[in-house]
Each structure stands twice: as C-alpha cells, then as structure tokens.
Copies of this chain bind each other. A is one copy, B any other.
Amino acid sequence: MAQRRTRILSEMTWPEVREAIERGAGVFLPVGSTEQHGYHLPLATDVILPTELALAVADELDFLVAPPVAYGYRSRPLSGGGQGFVGTISLQARTLMSLVEDVLSELIRQGFERIAVVNWHFENQNFVYEAACLALERHRGSSARILVAEHPFAELSEATMKTLFPEGFPGWDYEHASIMETSLMLHLRPELVLFDRAVDDASKRHPWYDVLPVPEDFVPASGTLWKATQASEEKGRITWEEIVAQFREAVVTELAGTGSPEAVRHER
C-alpha cells in the first residue's frame, strides 16, 4: 500500500506544517512545465526532476516540498520544441508570474523563512525570479530569504560533462529530452521512460535567435532536440548525484536553518 510521505506538504496535516515552521523548517517550491519531451519521456519530466531534487535533500536539511507548479511558460522552439506539439500546455508569462508570486507570498505569510524555488523548465527563467522579487515586495520587513535555482543542472563538473556528452556538449538549450534528461529519468523514474522509442534528432537549423511565427526547420519532428539514445541509467546516476550535491550545498550555504545551525554548519 502507498505510504504517506511526511516531507510532502500536500500529504501533511496542518498541525504538522505548523510544527515544521515552528522548528524552523524550510520549504521547496518545484516549478516545471507540461511539455512534450520527445517520443519517450513523459510530459511531466520538468515537474518530476525538480520535485525529486527537492525530495532528495528535504530530510537532511529539514525542508518541506510544496505542491509543484505543473504548468510553465510557453515552450520555445530552440529549447523545448515550441508550442506546436500536442501535449504542451503552457501559461502566459503574466499568469505564471502571478501564480508563483502568490504561492511564495503565502509561504512567507505563514512563517516560512527559508524558501527555495527549484525550477527545471528552461523557459521559466526570469519569470520565477520576478515572482520571487514581487513576493518579497509584498512582505517588506519579513526575514524570509528565497533561493532561486533556475538551472540546477547548469554547472556540472568537467568529468560529468564528458561522461554525459562524450561527443561534445551542444549547449543546454539542446538538452531537451536528450542525453541528460533521459539519463536522469532512467535513473529516477524508469517506469515512465519508453526508452525503446528514444531517438537522436536535431532541427535542421538552430540559430542564435528566434523567429515568429516559428520556421518549421527550427523544430525536430520528434521533439527531442539532440541525442537521446546515448542516455543511460548510469549516466543519470552520476549526474544526479552531482546535481543533488550542488543543490544541497547551495541550500546549506544560503538558507542555513535557524533551528539547527550547528548541523548546518557541519554540512559545509
């Protein structure tokens, strides 16, 4: 039978949340998208990965995980395949910002002081930052701090990069439904990966600018922007460990708990 998970805010009761806040617990807000991820990955890939990242360090650092933001900013052709794929369900920028602003504002209002936005969807960049700014402006004088992690995968070590991209790194914008994301999903949620359908693909053109309406040759037919077949569970495991370690380090450094400072300091 399923288990109740006591780090997941939505499964907790309110007195449990009260107790958490009183002891100084923090809270993670995963932000993702509902977006095509090729023939083989689920639409929720960008929701699953930041949620897993939050859960990976929640116990150790005493954080709760708020309900993820499951819809993100519109998919851009050169980093997500664009809005032309069925299954991609996106928000307007104003809506996404208001949503994240409201949720962060509520978290501050009820007493959370250690907050991290854990984003995975490339296109949410800047919007989640603005939302965090606006939420803090609503609560001037609060002692809340917000860590905004827009690209938790952005600074992998050279070793890991070589493991992931032995043929060379094309740039993070290509990394959509490709080697890294597929590897991570194979490691974390293999039951959601239809790996036999994975393909290597690329758009005919991938320029440094965008064009609207979107030229057809900016978008690969599969929605996979690069090579997915080179993914493996092993690559996923190695990468994930590094991502988790970096994220843990960031949280420990910036959001040292008020409740247990020693433990946190030890962590460094």
Question: Which listed residue, B12, B125, B150, touches A87 by the CB 8 Å rule?
Answer: B12
Interface residues of A in 77-119 (CB under 8 A from B): 85-95, 97-99, 101-103, 106-107, 110-111
Instruction: Determine chain A's interface SS by DSSP, over half rule.
Output: mixed
Tell me, yes or no, whether A183 is within 8 Å of chain B by CB. Answer: no
Give the one of A101, A110, A152 with max B CB within 10 A: A110
CB-CB nearest in chain B for A115 = B212
Q: Of the listed stretches A54-62, A162-170, A191-199, A229-237, name the one at the interface; the rest are far from the partner chain.
A: A191-199
For residue A225, give the distance in angstroms from its CB to the closest CB of chain B. 13
B residues less than 8 Å from A94 (CB atoms): 94, 97-98
Give the complex CA separation of A254 and B215 in angstroms.
9
Q: Please state the number of chain copies in the assembly.
A: 6
B17 x A87 contact (CB < 8 A): yes
B86 x A17 contact (CB < 8 A): yes
B86 x A111 contact (CB < 8 A): yes
CB-CB nearest in chain B for A20 = B86
Give the complex CA separation of A129 and B92 in angstroms.
11
Tell me, yes or no, whether A210 is within 8 Å of chain B by CB. Answer: yes
B209 x A150 contact (CB < 8 A): yes
B residues less than 8 Å from A136 (CB atoms): 212-213
Q: Known: A102-B92, A209-B250. Contact between A18 and B149, CB under 8 A? A: no
Known pairs A17-B86, A90-B106, A94-B97 / 12 extra A-B pairs, C-beta < 8 Å = A2-B189, A9-B43, A9-B87, A13-B43, A34-B67, A67-B71, A67-B89, A92-B98, A95-B99, A99-B99, A126-B127, A146-B211
